Amino acid sequence: MNRKLSLQELNRLTVAEFKTRKKSPIVIILDNVRSALNVGSTFRTADAFALQEIALCGITAQPPHREILKTAIGATESVNWQHFPSTLDAVNYYKEQGFFIYAVEQTENSIQLNEFKATPAGKYAVIMGNEVKGVNQKVIDLADGCLEIPQFGTKHSLNVSVCTGIIIWELFRQKNIKNQD
């Protein structure tokens, strides 16, 4: 029998405990993401994997925004974030901090996610694009590379929050991060 665990049995960290924990050296850069609901979902993913932070760029909504709070369910309180006027500003900032920068986009030379090999000690920033236009070409030009999730259906893309979850899980899995004290 599989009994569902109660919230108390999950032994989740408090926000204060989470803030002091070591974070995964992974950053999500949101490139002019239109939907505040997608932004909130990204906060939940960043919380789940204890990521270093989220960069909200350009027109991307910022907390406190009603729709972000609706899907983030409190993750805006635990996850570090900052706003950049442009995604180019964010990419330059994280490059200066020693991050490998990867745009998540379908390009001529994109690396299929199942073929990507993360460096265990590396710090990664992944750029997630606008729901209609994707990642801006000028941003792609500054990136160290592009990652692509293999797809086999009739559609050409995934929802940005779903795509973010897949990319972050794979980076997290490959780096074998165990987020311990």
Q: Please give the Cα distance from 81 to 117 (Å, whole number).
A: 27
AA identity, residue 97: Q
Asked whether residue 11 is domain-assigned, the answer is no
Give the model's confidence band at 177: pLDDT under 50 very low, under 70 low, under 90 confident, else very high: low
Asked whether residue 85 is domain-assigned, the answer is yes
Q: Which residue(s) pair with 100 in the sheet?
A: 124
Asked whether residue 77 is domain-assigned, the answer is yes
Report the domain count for the chain. Answer: 1
Pick the closest to residue 160 from 43, 63, 79, 65 (CA basis): 43
Q: Please give the Cα distance from 39 to 66 (Å, whole number).
A: 11
pLDDT tens figures, 98-152: 999 999 999 999 999 999 999 988 999 999 999 999 999 999 999 999 999 999 9
What's the confidence (pLDDT) of residue 35?
Answer: 98
Q: What is the CATH number of the domain that holds 71?
A: 3.40.1280.10
Asked whether residue 7 is domain-assigned, the answer is no
Asked whether residue 181 is domain-assigned, the answer is no
Asked whether residue 12 is domain-assigned, the answer is no
Asked whether residue 9 is domain-assigned, the answer is no
pTM for this entry: 0.95
Range of the domain at 95: 23-175
Q: Please give the Cα distance from 92 to 146 (Å, whole number).
A: 16
What's the confidence (pLDDT) of residue 16?
Answer: 96
Give the model's confidence band at 181: pLDDT under 50 very low, under 70 low, under 90 confident, else very high: very low
CA 39: distance to chain centroid?
A: 10
Asked whether residue 94 is domain-assigned, the answer is yes
